[in-house]
Every structure is written in C-alpha cells, then in structure tokens.
Amino acid sequence: MKGEITSKEMPMSVFANVVKQVDHAASLLGIDPMLVEIIKMPRRSVIVKLPIQMDDGSFRVFTGYRVQHSIVRGPAKGGLRFHPDVTLDEVQALASWMTWKCAVVNIPFGGGKGGITVDPKTLSKHELEHLTRRYVADLLDVIGPESDVPAPDVNTNEQTMAWIMDTYSMHVRHTESAVVTGKPLIMGGSLGRREATGRGVMLTVREACKRLGMNLKGATAGIVGFGNVGSVAADLLQKEGVKIIAVTDVMGGVLNRKGLDIPGLIKYVAETGSVVGFAGTTPISNEEVVALDVDVLIPAALENLITAANADKVRAKIVAEGANGPTTPDADEILTRKGIFIIPDILCNAGGVTVSYFEWVQNRVGYSWTEDEVNGRLELVMVSAFADTYRVAQEYKVNMRVAAFMLAIRRVVDVILLRGVYA
C-alpha cells in the first residue's frame, strides 16, 4: 500500500502505549481507579482461524482478529487491515484509540478494530475475496450495523468493504448497507469519504496555526507516508498555500526545498506506484524528513515513527498525526519539552471516522448528502473538536494529546455513570 511504513523496532507494546496515555489523563481528571480499569481494557477480543483454499488447490490458514474496545456510546467502529505484522496487541491498541477518537469528535460510536495477518500482495484478488468473506462469516455474531461497523484501513479498500457488505447481507437475507462504511458510492458510500481523513488533517493544522499565530500560507511541511491520508492532506494543504517540501512512502522519499508539485506527484504515483524518482527532486529518508526544519511535520504512515531515539531531532513547530500512534509516550514528553505543538492522532485523523458516521447515518435513513454538505458538516465537527480540546489544554495546562484523552475519557465515563454498570 502506498504510504505504508512499518516500524521494525517496537519500543514497547502498542497497547501499552495507549494504556499509559489513558492512565495519565484519567489521573489528572481524578477518575475513580475502578472506572479506569473498566475503560482501559477491551470488552471483547475475538481471534479466528481462517482456512482458505488457494488458487492452486492448496490450503492455508490465516489468523484474523476483531476487537471491540467499548460500545458504551454506540456501536463499535473501526477499520479492518490486512498486513503481515498484524497482532492482537496492535488491534487492541487501535480499537482503544477508536473509542477515544469517536468521543473526541463527539459522535455516537464506540471503538473497534479488525485485522488479518497476511501480506495481501502475495494473494490474488480471488484469494483476497475468499479470505474476506470467510472472515465475515466467522464474525457474523460480532459485526452488524447496531453492534460493530468495519471500515477500510491498511491494505483494504472499497472493494473489500463491498465483499463484507455482500457476505453479511447474504446471511441476514436482506441488503444491509449500514453494516460497513467506506463502500463504493454505487453501494451507499458517502461522497467525501475517501478524502475525509486527509481533510481533517488539513483542518486541524489550519486551526493550530490560528492558535499559534502562524500564517498557513507560506508555511512549510514534510510528510511521512503518501498513501490516501498523506496525499490528500498534502493536496489540500498546498491549496491553502502550504509548501510541501518532502514526502516519503514505503519505497523511499523525495525532497524539493522550493516545494513539490503535489498534483503532479499524485499522478506520478498513480502511474509508477511510488514517489521515488519524481522529476526535480532529491532522495530523502523517513528519518531525514522527521528531522527537517519545517513548520509542520505530518506522520501519516504506521505506528511508532517518532520515538525517544529521534524525537530530539524534530524541528517542526507542529506535529500533525495523520497516522494512528506515530509517537511513543517517551517521544511525546520530549516533543512537549521542546515546545512543539502536537495535534494528536485521536483528533487530527478523526475526519475519516466522522464521515464514516455520516455514511452510516445516510444508509440508515436511506438518503444521500451532497459532497459540499458532507465537507461542511465535517468542518463543523473538526473545528468544534479542536476548540474543545484546546480549551481543556489551556484549562489544565497540558499538551493537546493529554487534553484530547481527558476530553474523551470524561465523555465516556459520564455515559458509564449515567448508564450504570450492569451486573
């Protein structure tokens, strides 16, 4: 997948990162420790073994996961990823982040996530379809429009979502479009969904610049990861006057200090599969982009890009987390000490789940919104969420990540207190 970057070194368990973030934010709020235990751990983690007959007649068994971290505020919501490095630990962490992300933008979803440990590049389309359908069939009692709604993630796309919708619909004996989001438009997908995460990154960077007294026009940016999120964010930020000087993908990176031609680069990637070799550029690595002297650094790939080993090299004024979990807790402390303004993942990249919510709503009422309506509603949600988070940061004198977790945890805990704990 373009824009995909895998961390070979995991400084600590990804789920342990999330637990540490939750513990810290909850302690500042004075939340009852027993309630903290309830909100930290996933409510349900399912592991399925998926035997698939391959095109050559042989059989292989794949491992799939679906984790529901919380359904207190509504159905679990979260993507399905296909990647050889998928583990239960990672899926649990991502499901937890989804709980807090949905709460930060105040949409009525809980957190979920799914994954299959597979390198999709080694499978044919026919084999991927069989794998997807078997995964859904084994999780029919887990997913559903009122319980757990999957979406695209790493190495999954509209086609994958179409297979999920069809498989589920065949089993329940009626077409159920709201079981999944990120579908093709012709099957009930939402206009603006593909661009939503990158648009959310642009909107939160814009809001951060306002608070910091920075002029967005003329600002410089470097982006690690040039997949859907990174490329859309780059395109929209460039339209706002930002100069994108460096981007990388899984194959390498390119630098042009005068500014990259983002529309040309997007077209080049569509033709070649990578940013590498784009005319008028010089090569650059992920580590070099992290250390660039830019106004905005956008990590838009996978987890743990910025660690204690390289955080001190970051020179950007703003780190806008287009990816989930790109900064470890130890690195977070270093960035904060350096005075770098962090737009945390659970706020920065929440545009995708917000428009997924819009898609779910449209499916349930049987009505479609225009792209302008979708983008307008998304802007209202993201601007409001940024303002709420910034207010908490100022009130408690904490960084934006801690503030976002505090805001989200308070919203989840308040619902738990009102609903009570069933026993």
Catalytically annotated residues: 113
Query: Coil, strand or helix: which one is 18?
Result: helix
Largest CA distance in the chain: 65
Q: Could you identify the residue written with the tokens 């505090």? A: 406
CA 368 from chain centre, in angstroms, equals 24
Task: Write the Ramachandran bin of 313: left for phi over 0, alpha for psi from -120 to 50, otherwise beta.
Answer: alpha
Query: Coil, strand or helix: which one is 129?
Result: helix
Q: Which residue type occupies 355?
A: V
258: exposed, middle or buried (Cβ count in 10 Å: 0-12, 13-18, 19+):
exposed
| Residue 329: both structure tokens together | 């807790």
Q: Which residues contact 267 (CB under 8 A, 6 or more apart)?
A: none
| CA torsion through residues 389, 393, 395, 398, sign | positive
CA atoms within 13 A on the CB side of 322: 34
207, 211, 216, 218 alpha-carbon torsion, rounded to 10°: -160
Q: Which residues contact 80 (CB under 8 A, 6 or more apart)?
A: 113, 114, 115, 116, 135, 150, 151, 152, 153, 156, 160, 164
Task: Write the Ramachandran bin of 294: left for phi over 0, alpha for psi from -120 to 50, otherwise beta.
Answer: beta
Answer yes or no: are the C-beta atoms of 65 and 91 closer than 8 Å.
Answer: yes
User: Distances from the Cα of 275 to the Cαs of 168, 227, 229, 261, in angstroms?
Assistant: 37, 10, 15, 12
